Structure 1
Amino acid sequence: MPSIDPAAYSSESIFQLELERIFSERLFIGTTADFPEVNSYKSLRLAKNAFTVRRTDVGFKSFNNVCLHRSALIDPLGSGQRPFRCGYHGWAYDNDGSLRVAPLTDEKCISRRVLSEYGIGQAGDLLFVGLNGSKPQLDKVEAALNQIGVPQAPPPPFHTDTLMQECNWKLLVENNIEGYHLSFVHPQSFIPAGFNTSSRYEWDSDEYTCWSACIPNENTSKLKYLQKLSAAATHDFRHAYVFPNLFLTTTNQFVGFRSYMIPLSAQRTILKWELFELPALLKLAPAVREEMKKEAIRFTATSLAEDKPLVESCQVGLSSIEPNLQLQPAEPRISRFHQYYSGRMQNV
């Protein structure tokens, strides 16, 4: 089956094109829960692009995060709550990115007075940035979330974490959107939970989203036990991907998982992830909820740890002198991803 050129997984020049043609259009950066009050911010770097997203009294805004004075970052990397003011010499900015205060300066020496502004889009509680300046296209997101049972405004996460991956971002996408590897990679997570390579797998896609359901076979199904906890329980693992960097899953309609990637280079990617309760879990007794949340944290951390050496191994192999990439019929979502990626990259 046709696939991406293996060189695209290690080439820095292709990575730079990806930043321009893919990540500049629609980049997930967090949820409304990450910005609890006015002047809450999240400051990020995408390769050489330093930008900040802020909650203002007129809504969410995103700007270039480099001070117009001497290029210090205005908001420190990370998140918090503070005035929109550079900590180096006190230059402060308004909600539209214009310079408001520049202490002890000569006006004749200030020629540029407005930060570059980026487009912001919201789908439910999800926030996206358009680093090309346009508002990102989000019209397909709600339908993808509905397919896997993620509510439009889930509760705040009960656990968050970060994982550094020494691999290209596309390898994380591919690993996330196929179940072919489950029986070989996940003896401490998916296999005990009833999911394996032979589980029933259903999937579909839209323009820039795709989703799937992994449903255990009868001999590994735990549905009758789960429904003793809640009549709303299912036994399935549902997954949605919003191109290029957002993943969401639901497990048995009890726990939701949300993660997103920020590529740092062609061969290095940071993955941020969090877990949240779904309505069926929220209705259970407090003691049961706590135990299920503990197990969800263990399951997720374990499965990510099981995946990590394999995706990093693929990075080494794809960077070698004789890489191979032969997709199989059991990997249809990867084929769809490659097709859409190639279209956005104009078949580079």
Structure 2
Amino acid sequence: MIKNLNYIDETVFLKEKSLFFKESWILVAHKNELANNNDFVTLEYFGNKIFIQNYNGTLKSFQNVCLHRFNTIHEEPYGNRVSSCLYHNWTYGKKGNVIGLMCRNSFEKDNISALRLKEYEIDYCGDFVFIKLNDQLDRSLNDYLGNVFASLAEISRHFGAKTIDYTIEHKVNWKLLVENVLECYHCTSVHENSFAKMGFGSVAPEKFDFFEAHSWCEFPKGDDVKPNKIIEKSLADRTFKTQGYLHFYSYPNAFISSVEGKGFYFGFMFPESPSKTNLRVRYFAPKFEKELSESQQNIIDFINNSSNESLDLVLNEDKKIVENIQTNLEHFKDSSPIFGDEEFRILKFYDYFNKKELNDI
């Protein structure tokens, strides 16, 4: 048993929000999303609007709010254009400074040249892009991720092109999403037509590692599942191959996973309230050792579409369960959940998180 966990109280949620900002580093993008000049990715984290953009090969991150009349600069979750507010065309450069605006002479008295968008520090774990929310935190990204850094960096180098990017609203507390993804104890029952058919959930994991609240785990594949020869042949030249389902949790907000290196899922949590969490879903094709022919690419596109459909099925199966749990919590707010040995990553997570709550809040 662990201490009682409150999933519904507004005061508890606000304390957790404060703790997240003290933790500071969050995983926001993969370099493949920002490969070209003017590529950008946006996010809104606990009300803070932020964008990351490629400025002629240099990635920078700024507050996504124009300094003129406070309109949002980039409205879309991702895209490619200059960082220009579409209200009055105020345009910003890689230092966050105003480099273009209409009727500049009319603003001379306001010292426009001294204005700067709030900037967030960027660092990298392989090809993953992190930003630091709290500029007072004196802790490097490498130190923040600890011994999980190397494994996370390795898998990041095998991401191909992004195939999907959308957001699903979950009417649940953020902790329920974390609990759900940190175990495969539910896979054979909830994911009977997806993970279970692929052979996952019936064999206990033997490979895993932890650092503070971060963790990774490889869930082995059962021996009784026959491989699809067409898919195996088509994906034979992918650069990353593993026999199992590999899953990373980067505290506090990100989930990275891959089934046998055949594609890569990147989930990003946006806690909105005690009972609402948005999940941004991104999926990436695998990277290949050599350039594909047109016919090979057509097959890979078909496999990617099938993977996207399977991912959507899994996510909605989980969503149904965790939303059902949330509706019951009002009647169990003074009770603790029970976690067994199969849910060891959840126990490790709460061991860290509960200590941080006591020490930092």
TM surpasses 0.5: yes
Structure 2 spans left out of the alignment, 5+ residues: none
Give the distance between the partners of 1:328 and 1:151, measured in 2 at CA: 31
Please say if residues 119 and 135 of structure 1, whose CA atoms lie closer than 8 Å, have aligned partners that are also in contact: no
Give the distance between the partners of 2:11 and 2:121, measured in 1 at CA: 26
**Who is 1:328 aligned against?**
340
Give the distance between the partners of 1:233 and 1:165, measured in 2 at CA: 32
Cα 1:23–1:316, aligned 2, differ >3 Å: closer, same or farther? farther
Give the distance between the partners of 1:20 and 1:180, measured in 2 at CA: 31
Give the distance between the partners of 1:192 and 1:209, measured in 2 at CA: 28
**Who is 2:152 aligned against?**
145
Please say if residues 2 and 336 of structure 2, whose CA atoms lie closer than 8 Å, have aligned partners that are also in contact: no
What pairs with 1:1-150 in structure 2 (closer than 5 Å)? 1-3=1-3, 5-7=4-6, 9-23=7-21, 25-57=24-56, 59-101=58-100, 103-109=104-110, 113-133=115-135, 137-139=140-142, 140=145, 141-145=148-152, 150=155
Give the distance between the partners of 1:346 and 1:163, measured in 2 at CA: 32
Cα 1:340–1:277, aligned 2, differ >3 Å: closer, same or farther? same
Give the distance between the partners of 2:216 and 2:316, measured in 1 at CA: 23
Q: What TM-score, normalized by structure 1, do the two folds share? A: 0.85
**Who is 2:260 aligned against?**
252
Give the distance between the partners of 1:339 and 1:295, measured in 2 at CA: 38
| 1:175 and 2:180 correspond | yes
Give the distance between the partners of 2:160 and 2:250, measured in 1 at CA: 20
Structure 1 spans left out of the alignment, 5+ residues: none
Identity %: 27
* CA root-mean-square deviation: 3.1
**CA-CA distance at 1:258 after TM superposition:** 2.0
User: Structure 1, residues 173-208: CA drift from partner, whole Å, max 9, x if none?
Assistant: 111110111122112211221223x32223321234
Query: Which has more helix, going by share of residues?
Result: 2
Give the distance between the partners of 2:157 and 2:33, measured in 1 at CA: 15
**Who is 1:317 aligned against?**
328
Q: What TM-score, normalized by structure 2, do the two folds share? A: 0.82
Cα 1:343–1:288, aligned 2, differ >3 Å: closer, same or farther? same
User: Structure 1, residues 234-261: CA drift from partner, whole Å, max 9, x if none?
Assistant: 5421111111112121212322222222
Give the distance between the partners of 1:236 and 1:183, measured in 2 at CA: 15
Amino acid at match of 2:327: V
Would you say how many aligned residue pairs link Structure 1 and Structure 2? 342
User: Structure 1, residues 32-82: CA drift from partner, whole Å, max 9, x if none?
Assistant: 222232222223211221222221236111112222222212222422223
Tell me the SS of whatever aligns to 1:52.
strand
